[in-house]
């Protein structure tokens, strides 16, 4: 189940997942992982729960009239279970509810095929972000949301 984060306690759970995935597993420097958009006032954050355990997270915000999906991650123990699809679908739902139909993300190169399957198109050459190869990907969303 993917839910919109509405409390500081839930946001801390999201930060724990990001720390485990991005900082500990992928080697992102801690001072580069957290930024000015890590509050409930500056971005919408989501959490994926498996029973009562937080296992995935992401955030999105509006940048120049376009949705930007960021910090998408899943605990290693819960990958390959469809949680990535759930996260992206929830982000798209939230964007559509705010009448945002153009969205983008900086996807890790190793996840490019995953995003292609969800309808995202690669729109850049490879660039480095936090020491990891990324590409810019975009998608045009429908004007109304339809559930999975």
Domain boundaries, the chain: 2-140
What are the tens digits of pLDDT across the range 93-121? 999 999 999 999 999 999 999 999 999 99
Quick one: pLDDT at residue 92?
96
- The pLDDT assigned to 50 comes to 92
Look at residue 67 in the predicted model and tell me its pLDDT.
Answer: 97
| pLDDT beneath 50: ranges in the chain | 148
- Pairing state of beta strands 53-63 and 66-74? antiparallel
pLDDT at 144: 75
The domain made up of 2-140 has a fold known as Aminopeptidase (3.40.630)
Instruction: Tell me, yes or no, if the pTM score tops 0.75.
Output: yes
pLDDT score, position 145: 65
Predicted local distance difference test score (pLDDT) of residue 147: 56
Q: Give the Å distances, CA to CA, from 59 to 62, 65, 88, 126, 143.
A: 11, 16, 10, 22, 20
3-state secondary structure 41-104: CCCEEEEEEECCEEEEEEEEEEECCEEEEEEEEECHHHCCCCHHHHHHHHHHHHHHHCCCCEEE
Task: Supply the pLDDT for residue 24.
Answer: 95
What pLDDT score was predicted for residue 82?
Answer: 93
Can you give the pLDDT at residue 69? 98
Report in angstroms the alpha-carbon separations of 81 from 1, 11, 94.
12, 23, 22
């Amino acid at each position: 189940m993917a839910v919109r984060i509405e409390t500081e306690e839930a946001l801390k759970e999201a930060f724990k997942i990001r720390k485990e995935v991005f900082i500990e597993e992928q080697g992102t420097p801690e001072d580069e992982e957290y930024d000015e958009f890590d509050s409930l006032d500056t971005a919408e954050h989501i959490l994926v729960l498996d029973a009562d355990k937080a296992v995935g997270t992401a955030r999105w915000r509006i940048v120049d009239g376009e949705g930007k999906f960021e910090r998408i991650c899943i605990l290693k123990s819960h990958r390959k279970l469809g949680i990535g699809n759930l996260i992206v679908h929830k982000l798209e739902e939230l964007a559509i509810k705010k009448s945002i139909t153009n969205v983008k993300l900086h996807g890790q190169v190793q996840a490019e095929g995953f995003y292609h399957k969800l309808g995202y198109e690669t729109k850049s050459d490879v660039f480095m972000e936090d020491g990891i190869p990324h590409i810019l990907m975009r998608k045009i969303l429908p004007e109304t949301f339809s559930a999975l």
